[in-house]
Structure 1
Amino acid sequence: MHFLLRILPLCLLFVPAVAHAELLAGAAVVDVTPQTFPVLVNGGMTSRSISKVSSRLHARGLALSDGQTTLVIVVVDSCMMPRPLIDKAKQLASLKTGIPTDRMLISATHTHSAGSCMGALGTEPDPNYVPFLTTSLADTIAKAADNLAPAQIGFARIDAAEFTALRRWIRRPDRVVNDPFGNPTVRANMHAGAKPDDVTGESGPEDPELSLISVQTPDGKPIAVLANFSMHYFAGQSGISADYFGLFCAGLKQKLAPQSDFVGIMSHGCSGDIWRRDYTDPDSWTQLATVDDYANGLVERAIKAYQTIQHRRDVDLAMAERRMKLRYRVPDQQRLEWANRIVSEMGDRPPKTQEEIYAREQLFLHQRQETEVVVQALRVGDIAIATTPNETYAITGLRLKATSPLANTMVIELANGGDGYIPPPEQFPLGGYNTWPARSAGLEVTAEPKIVEAGMDLLEQVCDQPRREPQLSRGPASNAIAALNPVAWYRLDEFTGPRAVDSSGHHHDAIYEAGVTWYLAGPHSKRFCLNGQTNRSAMFAGGRLQARMPQIADRYSISLWFWNGMPIDGRDVTGWLYSRGRDHGASAYSEHLGIGGSSGNPGRLIFQSGDKPNDVVAGTTVIPRWKWQHVVFVREGASIRIYLNGKLELQATAANEFPQGFDRLFFAGSSSNRANWEGRLDEIALFDRPLTAKEINTLAPSQTEADVR
C-alpha cells in the first residue's frame, strides 16, 4: 500500500477525471501508554509523576482517500503536544507512506493524566516518553493508510447539553482577586461559579453539540466513528488514564462492533472555558458523578445520533494548511526584573508556587518572543473540519461552525500543536488563569481573531464556497417586535463587538464599550427563534451599550429583556438597565431605570429622574436573580409608565422637553457610568411613540414563560 500511495498521484495524471470519486477509508489504533515509569504528567500547575496505569493510552487514526487526495486524522490520548514533535512524526510518516505532511492532522484529547511530551507551567517533557510517542504517531498514520479500503461516510449531530457547562465565571466588581504578579486583575476565572455569591454569571456560551463522522464499508459494517465534543476533561483518575475520551471510544466499539477492528475516536472540541459541572444547577452534580457514568451516558447519546446517519460513497476530499507567525505577550522590563529575581532564588529546583511558576514562564516568553502555529481545514464531501492549535473557547468553535460554508462542520482543538489558551480579545480585560502570560496562555491578544480568520479562509478554500453569514431566525416573539415597527432593534446576537447591529432595517447601530462578552443564551429560544436555534444575548461586566436616537424626542418606548447577575444587596444600586443623559454625567434632564440595592428598594425596579439619587420611584415586585425578565419603559412627555412582564409596575413623572442634542441612550449602565449592569440583556427595541398596554401585552412573556433562567 505504501508503494501504491507514492505512485498514485503520477498515475492520475494520465487518467480522465471521473464524475464522482469513490471513497476509501482505513482506521488503526496504536498503544501509546508510557513504557518507562515513573513518567512526568502535565496538566497541573506543578510538576508531578505517575507510576501506575489506570487505563491505557492510544493514538487512533483515520485515513481517507478519494483516489487523488489522501489525508489522515490522528487523535492521541495526550494533554497537549508541541508542534515540533508533531512535525517530526508527520515527516517520519510521510517517508513511510508518501502522504504529504500537510495532509496529516494530529490532535490531543487533552486528558490531564497522560505522559508529558511538552513543557508547560511547572512540568517538563518526559525525556523517555517523547521519542516513543513520536514514532508511535508515525506508526499510527502508516497503519491507518495500510488499511484503506472502499468505504462510505455520513454525519450526525445531537444535543448533549447536560454533559457540558461553562467553567469560567465573571466575578462581582467588588470581589476581584489578585493575579500571580500581585495585581488585582481577576474579574473572571475558572470555577469561580462554585461560590455563587462571588460571581455575576458565565463569561461566555457553551457548545452542547456532540457531532459524529461515521465511516462504514459499502455494505454497512462500521469502520470508524470520529466524534467531537466540547468538554475539557473529567478528572479524578489516580494513574495514567485516557479519561472519558478513552472510555467513550471503548464504549462506542462495544455498542457498534465489539468483535471487529472498528475504531472509535473522540476528538476535543473547543473547551478552553468548559467543564462538566453546571454551577447554575448544584442538584445536577450527583448525576453522571463518575467517569464511567459520564462516558456511558455520552455513548448512549452518540448511538442515538448514529442511528440517523445517511452514508454515501461519492465524496471527494480537500485539505489546506496555513503556518502563521504569532508573537508572545512578553514581559516588560519591570516584570522581567521581578521574574529574574524570583527564578535566581529558586536555583535548580522546579517551581513550587504560583508566583514561581509564572516568574519562570516570563523568562521563557522573553527568550522565545514568537512562535509558529498551524491552522488546517479539510472537507470530505459535504463534511468540513476546522482546527485550532490551542485551547479554544466555546464561542470560537461556535463561530467557526456558524460561518463555515458547510452546515456539517466540526472544530478540533489542540491540533498540530499545543500553543495554549487563546481567549477572544474581550476576555483579556476580565483576566484570569487563561489570560496570564505563560507558554500555556502566552500568544498575542489578537491571536484568536487571527486564527479564526485563517480557519474561515481555509474552509472557504477547501469548500470552494464563501462563508455563511450567521443570522438569528425570527420566531413569534421576534415577529411581535417587528410588527410594532421599532426604529431600532438590537437582538444582541453578535459573536464580537464593537457594533450592535440594528435589526429594524433603519441602520441605527449601537456601540458596545469594553466590558462585554457575547453570544450567551438569551430568553425563550423557542419563541424568538425557529428550527431549534438558540436565542443569543450579551453579557455585561461593567461595559455599556451606547446609541444616539435624536428622532425619539420625549415620546417613545423601550422594550428589553434583562437577566440580573448581582446579589440585590451587593451594592447601593444593583444595576442600571437604561439611562438617557450626557456621557459620564447626570443632569436635571437625565433619566435612569434600574434595580434597587442596599441603599433602598432591593431587587425592585427603580426610576430616577434628574440628578438626585434619593429622588426615586420604585416598584413592588422583587425580581429574582439569574432569571429572565421583560420590561417596557414608556415615556409620554412628562409621564412615565414602566411595565414588568406585561403588567404595570410603576408610574412616575419626569422633566419635560429635553434640551437640544440630548439624544444619547445608554443600556446596561447609567450616563454617569456608575453601578453599570452586571448580567445579560437581550432584544432591546426602541419605538418612536408610546406603546399601548395592548401592544405591550404582545411583547410580554406568558404566565408560564415568565421567570425562567
Structure 2
Amino acid sequence: MKWSIAVTFLGSVFFVQAAAQAELKVGAAAVDVSPVELPVLINGGMTSRSADKVTSPIYARALVLDDGRQRVAIVVVDSCMMPRDFLDEVKQLASQRTGIRPDRMLMSVTHTHSAPSVAGALGTDADPSYVPYLRGKLVEAIAAAAANLEPAQVGWASADAAAYTALRRWIRRPDRIAEDPFGNPTVRANMHAGKNWDDVTGESGPEDPELSLIAFQSLDGRPIALLANFSMHYFSGVQPVNPDYFGLFCGMIEKALGGGDRQDRPFVAIMSHGPSGDIWRRDYTKPASAPENNYTLETYSRGLADIALAAYRGIQYDRYATLAMAEARIPLKYRVPDKQRLEWAQRIVEAMGDRPPKTTAEVYAREQIFLQERQSTKVVVQALRIGQIGIATTPTETYALTGLKIKLQSPLSGTMVIELANGGDGYIPPPEQHVLGGYNTWPARSAGLEVAAEPKITETALELLEQVSGKPRR
C-alpha cells in the first residue's frame, strides 16, 4: 500500500509539471475492412448464418495519440466481437511496425450484428478466411494513424440522448417465469419481455442516456477526429455485411465536419460501444406507436448525429493535454457445468456429430463442452487519461448500471466507458442480476464468467482510473 501511494503521488506531481511542456499530437485513419472473400460467416445470432454481399462498407477506425512522453492507440472496429488472443497478436504485430507498446493499445468493436465473424460465439464459428485478413488490416489502421500524427488539441462534450436508448431487460411476473435452455424454470427476467406488459412487473435496471464525445482538432481549428460513445446495443434489421447505425452515424458526422484543405488526412468519426448489455432502442414503457419506437436506421442515426453536432459546437480545447494509460489482466473462472448438465450436453453434442448446432438446446449443449474445457481465462481492463478526460474499458457486454458506477466514481471530470474492448468475454450481469436468470446469464462463451466478474472488473477499472489520474475516486 505504501508503494502504491508513493507512485500515485509522484505520478500526480509529474502530471502537473509535464502539463505545461506537453505537445499533444494526434493522428487518425479509417481503413476499409470489408471482406474480399464471400460468402462470409456473420456473428451475432443464435445459430450460424452467412452473407454473400457487402451492403455497406465496414471500417477499422484508428487514433494514435502522443504527448512527447508516450504514444497510445485507440481502434474501434465494425465487428460483433474480437477475442483477446486474436487482439494480442494484432497488438504485437502493430507494435513491431509502429513502436507503440502493446499495453498502450485499446482495441474494441462497435458490436454490429451484421459483420464477419471473428470470434466463435453461440452457434457461429469464426470465419477462417476473414480472421487473418482482418488481422493485417488492423495493423494497417494503426500504422496509418501513426503516420498522420500532427500537433493537436483535445476537448470533451456530453449530451442527453435519452430518446435513443432504453432498457430491454424486464422482470417477469412470478406466475410468468419461463424455462432456460436446460429445461429449468429460472427465467425471472429476460430481453424484450416488456413487449407484453401482462408478463412483467418492470425494468430490471437503469439506462445510461449520455452521448459522450472526445474531439481532436489541429491547432488552427481543423477537425481531425471525433470519438463518440453511446450505450445502445445495435439497431438491427440491416442486411449484412453492414456496420449498422454505428457506421451511418460516423458517415453523417464526417460529412458535417470533414472537408477542408487537408484531404490527405481526412477527418475520422468513430462511434464506440458504451455499456449496453441490457440496453436496446425500443422503449417498452411507451406504446409501440410512440415516435421513439418508430425510428428507421436513417432517422435514428440522424437524430443521434444531430445531438452530437450540437454538443460539439460548445467544446473547449486543451493543447497541453498529457497522456497516461494503465492495463490490468484479471484471472476469472468460468461457470462450468455440473455433472448432470455435462452429461446432458455430451449426449446432445455426440448426436450432432460434425454439423453445427441448429437449435437453442444444441447451441447451449455445445457451449457447456467449451466451458468445461476452458475452466478459466484472463480478461483485460484498461484506463486512459487524455488531459482531464478519462476512458475506462471492459472486455465484456456490460450492463448500463456498471457503466454508471464507473462514470460516477471516476476521479476525472469526464469519463467514457468503452465495452467489448481488448477481448470479447460475454455478458457480466451484476451479481444481484444473476438470480433473475435470462439469456444474459445462461452459461456460454458469451455469458460464462463467474458471478463475481462484474464487481471485479468494475473495481479494477476504478483503480486504474485512480492510477492514471493520480487522484482518488469520487
Aligned counterpart, 1:85: 86
Does the 8 Å contact 1:325/1:372 carry over to 2? yes
CA–CA distance in 1 between the matches of 2:182 and 2:383?
38
How many residues are matched?
453
TM-superposed deviation, 1:17: 6.3
Aligned counterpart, 2:239: 238
Aligned counterpart, 1:109: 110
CA–CA distance in 2 between the matches of 1:426 and 1:149?
47
Aligned counterpart, 2:274: 269
Residue deviations 1:129-167 (CA, integer Å, cap 9, x gap): 000111111111111111111000000000000000000
Identity %: 66
Match of 1:366 among 338, 363, 372: 372
Residue deviations 1:487-542 (CA, integer Å, cap 9, x gap): xxxxxxxxxxxxxxxxxxxxxxxxxxxxxxxxxxxxxxxxxxxxxxxxxxxxxxxx
Aligned counterpart, 1:186: 187
CA–CA distance in 2 between the matches of 1:336 and 1:451?
28
Equivalences for residues 669-684 of structure 1 within 5 A = none
SS at match of 2:54: coil
TM-superposed deviation, 1:20: 2.8
Q: Which runs of 5+ in 1 are unaligned?
A: 1-15, 469-709
Structure number with greater CO (CA < 8 Å, separation at least 6) is: 2
CA–CA distance in 2 between the matches of 1:17 and 1:221?
25
TM-superposed deviation, 1:407: 2.4
User: Is 2:348 the partner of 1:347?
Assistant: no
Q: Which runs of 5+ in 2 are unaligned?
A: 1-16
TM-superposed deviation, 1:251: 0.2
CA–CA distance in 1 between the matches of 2:240 and 2:450?
35
CA–CA distance in 2 between the matches of 1:374 and 1:353?
32
Letter in 1 for 2:390: A
CA–CA distance in 2 between the matches of 1:109 and 1:94?
23
User: Is 2:426 the partner of 1:420?
Assistant: yes
TM-superposed deviation, 1:284: 2.0
Aligned counterpart, 1:139: 140
SS at match of 2:175: coil
CA–CA distance in 2 between the matches of 1:164 and 1:446?
27
Does the 8 Å contact 1:401/1:407 carry over to 2? no
Letter in 2 for 1:305: A
CA–CA distance in 2 between the matches of 1:191 and 1:66?
46
TM-score where L is the length of structure 2? 0.94
TM-superposed deviation, 1:289: 2.1
TM-score where L is the length of structure 1? 0.63
Match of 2:341 among 297, 311, 335: 335
Aligned counterpart, 2:440: 434
Does the 8 Å contact 2:283/2:293 carry over to 1? no
CA–CA distance in 1 between the matches of 2:123 and 2:19?
55
TM-superposed deviation, 1:258: 3.8
SS at match of 1:358: helix
Aligned counterpart, 2:251: 250
SS at match of 1:443: coil
TM-superposed deviation, 1:95: 0.2
CA–CA distance in 2 between the matches of 1:20 and 1:171?
57
Does the 8 Å contact 1:223/1:262 carry over to 2? yes
User: Is 2:59 the partner of 1:58?
Assistant: yes
Letter in 2 for 1:273: D
Letter in 2 for 1:238: Q
CA–CA distance in 2 between the matches of 1:239 and 1:309?
36
Does the 8 Å contact 2:282/2:292 carry over to 1? no
CA–CA distance in 2 between the matches of 1:436 and 1:326?
17
User: Is 2:417 the partner of 1:411?
Assistant: yes
Letter in 2 for 1:147: N
TM-superposed deviation, 1:285: 5.2
Residue deviations 1:254-289 (CA, integer Å, cap 9, x gap): 111245400000000001000000001123256552
CA–CA distance in 1 between the matches of 2:50 and 2:292?
30
| CA 424–123 in structure 1, closer or farther in 2 if over 3 Å, else same | same
Aligned counterpart, 1:149: 150
Letter in 1 for 2:331: K
Match of 1:450 among 450, 456, 462: 456
Match of 2:321 among 315, 320, 337: 315
Aligned counterpart, 2:8: none
Does the 8 Å contact 2:379/2:423 carry over to 1? yes
TM-superposed deviation, 1:238: 1.6
TM-superposed deviation, 1:69: 1.1
Aligned counterpart, 1:388: 394
RMSD between aligned alpha carbons?
1.1
Letter in 2 for 1:397: G
